[in-house]
Amino acid sequence: MPTATDQVRPEVAAWQVDPVGFMRDVLGIGYLDPPCGVKGCVQCVPYTRLMAESVRDHRRTIVSACHDSAKTFTAGALVWWWLLSFPPAVVVTSSSTGRQVQRGIWKEIRAHYYRSRFLQDNFPKPNQEDWSYPGEPDWYAFGFSTRPDAAEAGATRVQGQHSPNLLLVFDEATAVDRMIWDAAKGSLTQEHNHWLVLANPTDPTSEFASVWRSGHGWHRIQIDARETPNLIHGDGANPYLVTQRWVDEYVRDNGADHPLVKARVHGILPDDATVTLIGYADLARAYDRKPQPRPAAGWPHVEMGVDVARFGDDLTTIYVVRGAEIVHSERYAKKDTVYTTGAVLEVARAWGLTEASSHRISVDDTGVGGGVTDQLRANGWRGVNGEDFGSAARDPKRFYDRRTELWVALRDWIREEACWHTIAEHQPDERRILEADLPGVTFEMRTKAGLTVMKLEAKKDMKKRLGHSPDHGDALALALASRTARRGLDRSKLVEVARRETAPPDPRQVGKRDDTPKEKARRARKAGIYEQGGAVGGIFR
């Protein structure tokens, strides 16, 4: 088989400046009058031309597209244009999963090959997710998945690619890990290194969304379903693309203003996605609300939330809430639980909390946080509320676990009541911190005990995806935990009963009263106090 140099035909110089001509003449796309029924026809689909010319003219192209717009089809055609027009060349493609790599862009790459007599006569066929030219070690293409558990390996593969003619293609880019984006930025070191990014913009918390919003250094292309052949010429013009019927049904079922309608019909990055629990729009409303004057009856009770870390890279975070407002926040790293206990007591006293109102302090009791809870109680703050995020929800018909329940309560507070105008004025960094934490949290629907319930994304998965733990969101959710009280509880009895039931037996009463754990539990329940895990003063509901 001839070398790469031998394969450079006179047409190559023309192909380099005319990718649309290559798609028409070599791949057989767009040679008929519209509507032709050819998927991705450059005459029927004007944005195919826009994508092709953008990859030619711009080092970075980002495409935010509607559902079934032929964007991946076009990307597959551009892979062949790049390989044949700039030999020897390297193309690296990436998608969310191995299945998506093989059945997404590489399916289109293979389909283009088998539709083109020129490719079949002159070039080896592509495999499931790679292609190479025999005898030419620097003329190849391959695809790989960006699963979160393989992000580091994927980043290494991207960083290892160097060629004067390198093209990177990210398909379904909302699912591409941030680590791989960073690796890609570092690999485009030469003048003729280009990058094409494609996505249906359903996740406003993704790196794709950040890049699209910024736009710095990128040529942006938005594809709206209304620009596709079937919506212009009528259903049937192109059987492979989105139809007017589907658009009408999707809008009817979800509503014209639904975030997924914006993303999947109009190719518009929404403010929120249905998988995102708290959206940017929710935060904006909280910051826009003006603070209310002090009520005649005085300020509402102060409540406090503590998310505990220790010597890792997470932060111990404290929030103090009064009614609709955040009135105080602080955070620090690499401190032991003794230090944290002292800090909690200092903040609590500064804001008027006492042993008698200690039930308004909620601590993440999972892991190292249990040590803080125990020390606070040992210091006389017996009512401190230890929240176990993994425990059962108070409303198990709606929520998978307690953490999900607390975050939904936080979301509802933000949407309906929260006023963060004052905290934004006095602590300007607070807005940046909350906007980095809260909109990054997603949820899914799970089946538990035969019921379909909400489940928040696991904290370790959030940390892997976002690059940090949502410590601030957890602490703020904990600050509101005392509001999700078990109805009918007389909370005024809380501290006194906790003190009485955890005190050592009175020697004068020995033999007169049953002080076994079972009897203590019975008396606590009779007093109206809810015990969790056998610890009075745990979670009072």
Q: What is the per-residue pLDDT across 280-332, written as a single tens digit (0 to 9) for each?
A: 777 877 887 877 777 777 778 899 999 998 766 788 999 999 999 999 999 98
Q: Beta strands of 107-147 (E only): which ranges?
A: 130-133, 136-145
Distance CA 388, CA 363 (A): 9
Question: Average of pLDDT values for 453-476?
Answer: 83
Residue 177 has what pLDDT? 79
Greatest Cα-to-Cα distance within the chain, rounded to the nearest angstrom: 107
What the chain holds in terms of domains, given with CATH numbers, is 10-266 (3.40.50.300), 302-483 (3.30.420.240), 489-541 (no CATH)
Is residue 502 scored above 80 in pLDDT?
A: no
- Model confidence pTM above 0.75: no
Residue 536 binned pLDDT confidence (cut-offs 50, 70, 90): very low
3-state secondary structure of 69: coil
**Helix (H), strand (E) at residue 47:** helix 46-57
Residue 143 has what pLDDT? 92
Range from 241-245, 480-484, 529-533 carrying the lowest mean pLDDT: 529-533
- Exposed, middle or buried by CB within 10 Å (0-12, 13-18, 19+), for 378? exposed
Distance CA 511, CA 507 (A): 9
Residue 403 has what pLDDT? 93
Higher local confidence (pLDDT), 350 or 289: 350
Q: Which are the contacts of 209, defined by CB distance < 8 A and separation ≥ 6?
A: 174, 201, 203, 269
Is residue 361 scored above 60 in pLDDT?
A: yes
Distance CA 411, CA 432 (A): 18
Residue 532 binned pLDDT confidence (cut-offs 50, 70, 90): very low
Q: Which are the contacts of 273, defined by CB distance < 8 A and separation ≥ 6?
A: 202, 203, 204, 205, 259, 260, 263, 279, 442
Q: What mean pLDDT is reported for the chain?
A: 81
Residue 380 has what pLDDT? 94
- DSSP annotation of 349: H
Residue 58 has what pLDDT? 97
Residue 425 binned pLDDT confidence (cut-offs 50, 70, 90): confident
Higher local confidence (pLDDT), 50 or 149: 50
Question: Average of pLDDT values for 332-337?
Answer: 89
Residue 541 has what pLDDT? 27
Residue 42 binned pLDDT confidence (cut-offs 50, 70, 90): low
Range from 48-57, 138-147, 175-184, 442-451 carrying the lowest mean pLDDT: 442-451
Q: Which are the contacts of 181, defined by CB distance < 8 A and separation ≥ 6?
A: 207, 211
Is residue 533 scored above 60 in pLDDT?
A: no
Residue type, 284: A
Is residue 154 scored above 90 in pLDDT?
A: no
Tokens of 232: 């212009």
Which of 17-26, 233-242, 449-458 shows the highest mean pLDDT? 17-26
Range from 96-105, 476-485, 499-508 carrying the lowest mean pLDDT: 499-508
Residue 263 binned pLDDT confidence (cut-offs 50, 70, 90): confident
Question: Average of pLDDT values for 508-522?
Answer: 55
Distance CA 393, CA 451 (A): 13
Is residue 431 scored above 50 in pLDDT?
A: yes
Higher local confidence (pLDDT), 342 or 506: 342
Question: Average of pLDDT values for 93-112?
Answer: 88
